[in-house]
Amino acid sequence: MFDRLRDFITKIKPNFVEGGKFAWLQSTFEAFETFAFTPNTVTKRGSHVRDAVDMKRAMITVVIALLPALLFGMWNTGYQTSLTAEWWPYEQGSAASWWYCLWFGFLRMLPLIVVSYVVGLGIEFMFAQIRHHEVNEGYLVTGLIIPMIVPVTTPLWQLALAVAFAVVLGKEVFGGSGMNFLNPALVARAFLFFSYPTHMSGDSVWIAADLWGSDAIAGATPLGELAAGTMPTASALDMLIGTISGSTCETSVIAILLGAVVLLVSGIASWRTMLAVMLGGGAMGLLFNLIGANTYMQLPFYYHYLIGGFMFGAVFMATDPVTSAQTNTGKWIYGVLIGLFAVLLRVVNPAYPEGMMLSILLMNSFAPLIDHCVVASNIRRRAKRAARKEVRI
């Protein structure tokens, strides 16, 4: 069957190359062709053998890492509705209800995911065609992350706008994946946050009221409660497992940590960045504990890991290799500062309940400066060595 598919692709290929009938679809065709078959190109210059990993494999590994959080997020979307919705058809706690939670969440999430991919990939394919490039796989990850970090009731047209904004202005204007300096998923999130604040924050956006539509059931998130000056009502265990309200897939620390294991074992994401973010956030939380001036400052420091998007940001967004610092030393500095600023913004500026998004975006823009300083020290060391002109053994 594969052979027949291959033969078919080979047969229709001439239509899609320069001068063919559908030359304007070349990038799209190539994207689908290489999706089905890793191409048969062989090495010409340099290393004759190459590592089996390519951009597709690397990106799909990140998508796999996102799956636990995604599945849990779907279930939790249903679960949150089941807690309060009067129309919920099954008895709380029954197996049928458990499965219906997942199904409900799936149906709520599906349109978000579809809109994100269709709009985002559409723009990507267009730009690739105009540039005569191959379609880059980066959006496979971005397009999945965006629906995972918005409230479930986000209107689809707002999501579509945000995605378009993020892909065009966050990425393509700089030259596409690998050239952007801001994490596109966070650009989309920030766009939504600042353009439609009523849909993005407050107490009545997090829990879907029904199978469709943007109506929501009121229900405070821990972050919202803390910003209002009270301790979160959910227990630490609930927050660890993730059975709380919040952005669709950010709530479960356990599911996110499963993803972190995939990323770290496969070597796709930097453990330095992840660890540094945790250390930075923890340090800032401890510092506030010492001051202890209000409820938020008295919050045990490890609660910062459990609430809001801290964990999701640390694992999946701070580690974005394109927008993070690129040197190993730089990654430590970058990560620690993200953690520090995230907690600082949360506690000191309650106007922005979630500091993680802004903190990562802020450090995205400083990452090149951090790298510059790190590399400059290497340059200085080399210059000094040249000045010494000594041979050491």
Partner 1 sequence: MIKIKKGLDLPIAGAAERRITYARDIGFYAVRPTDYVGLVPRLLVAEGDRVSAGDALLCDKNDERVRFVAPVSGVVKAVVRGEKRKLLAVVVERREWENEEGKKNEHIPVFDRPSKEGTAATANSQFSILNSQFLKESMLQQGLWPMLRQRPYGTVANPDDTPKAIVVSCFDSAPLAPDYDFALQGREQDLCKGLETLALLGAGCLYMCFRPGQRLAGVVGQYTPLHRDDAKVVFVEGPHPAGNVGTQIAQLCPINKGETVWTMTPQDVAVLGHWVKTGEYCPERVIAVAGPQAKNPQYYRIMAGACVERIVRSQLMNPDYPAFKMADESLKQVRVVSGNVLSGEQIAPDGFIGAYDSLLTLLPEGDYYDFMGWLLPGLNKYSFSRTFVSGFMQLLRKAKLINDDVIDYKFDTNMHGGVRPLVFTGDMERVFPFDIYPLQLLKACIVGDVELMEKLGIYEVEPEDYALCEFIDPSKTEMQAVIREALEKLRKEAM
Among 15, 122, 134, 161, binds partner 1 (CB under 8 A): 134
Cβ proximity to partner 1: between 295 and 326 the closer is: 326
Of 8, 22, 24, 37, the one binding partner 1 by CB under 8 A: 37
CB of 24 to partner 1, least distance (A): 20
Per rule CB under 8 A, is residue 92 in the interface with partner 1? no
Considering only residues 284 to 323 of the shown chain, the ones binding partner 1 according to CB under 8 A are 321-322
Residue 85 interacting with partner 1 (CB under 8 A): no
The tokens for 178 are 């690998």
142 binds partner 1 (CB under 8 A): no
Please state, in angstroms and rounded to a whole number, the distance separating the CA atoms of residues 263 and 383: 38
Among residues 183 and 252, whose Cβ is nearest to partner 1? 183
Asked if 392 interacts with partner 1 (CB under 8 A), we say yes
| Closer by beta carbon to partner 1, 231 or else 383 | 383
Backbone torsions φ then ψ of 207, nearest 5 degrees: -115, 120
> Residue 159: which residues within 8 A CB-CB, separation 6 or more?
112, 115, 116, 146, 147, 150, 188, 192
User: What is the rounded CA–CA span in Å between residue 379 and residue 233?
Assistant: 53
State the Cα–Cα distance between residues 205 and 228, nearest whole angstrom. Answer: 16
Calpha distance 33→94 (Å, rounded): 46
Nearer to partner 1, 222 or 330 (CB): 330
Which residues are within 8 A (CB) of 381 and not within 5 positions of it... i.e. 6 or more apart?
A: none
Identify the residue among 12, 25, 57, 373 touching partner 1 (CB under 8 A): 57
How big is the site for partner 1, counted in residues (CB under 8 A)?
Answer: 65
Main-chain dihedrals φ then ψ at residue 217, nearest 5 degrees: -100, 140
With contacts defined by CB under 8 A, name the span among 53-61, 100-108, 156-164, 215-223 that binds partner 1: 53-61
Contact status: 178 vs partner 1 (CB under 8 A): yes
Interaction between residue 13 and partner 1 (CB under 8 A)? no
Nearer to partner 1, 11 or 48 (CB): 48
**Full 3-state SS string of 177-239:** CCCCCCCHHHHHHHHHHHHCHHHHCCCCCCEECCCCCCCEECCCCHHHHHHCCCCCCCCHHHH
Based on its alpha-carbon atoms, the radius of gyration of the chain, rounded to whole angstroms, reads 23
C-alpha 15/C-alpha 28 separation (Å) is: 12
Give the one residue of 14, 89, 155, 175 binding partner 1; rule: CB under 8 A.
175
Tell me the one-letter amino acid at 331. K
Residue 351 binding partner 1, by CB under 8 A = no
Q: How far is the CB of 262 from partner 1 (least distance, A)?
A: 10
User: Among 102-110, 135-143, 301-309, 334-342, which window interacts with partner 1 (CB under 8 A)?
Assistant: 135-143
Which of 271, 301 has the CB closer to partner 1? 271
Q: What is the distance between the alpha carbons of residues 24 and 130, in angstroms, rounded to a whole number?
A: 9
Report the candidate in 125, 199, 208, 203 with the shortest Cα–Cα distance to residue 157: 199
Regarding 36 and contact with partner 1 (CB under 8 A), the answer is yes
Binding mask 359-378 for partner 1 (x = CB under 8 A): ------------x--xx--x
How far CA 31 is from CA of 18, 36, 206, 374, in Å, comes to 16, 9, 36, 37
Residue 39 Cβ vs partner 1, minimum distance, rounded to whole Å: 6
Cα(322)–Cα(356) distance, integer angstroms: 18
Residue from 38, 92, 230, 233 in contact with partner 1 (CB under 8 A):
38
* Residue reference for tokens 């994207």: 31
> Measured from the CB atom, is 2 or 87 closer to partner 1?
2
Considering the rule CB under 8 A, would residue 55 count as an interface residue with partner 1? yes
* Residue ranges that bind partner 1, judged by CB under 8 A: 2, 5-6, 34-43, 45-58, 60-61, 134, 136-138, 175-179, 265-268, 270, 272, 321-322, 324, 326-328, 331, 371, 374-375, 378-379, 381-383, 385-386, 389, 391-393
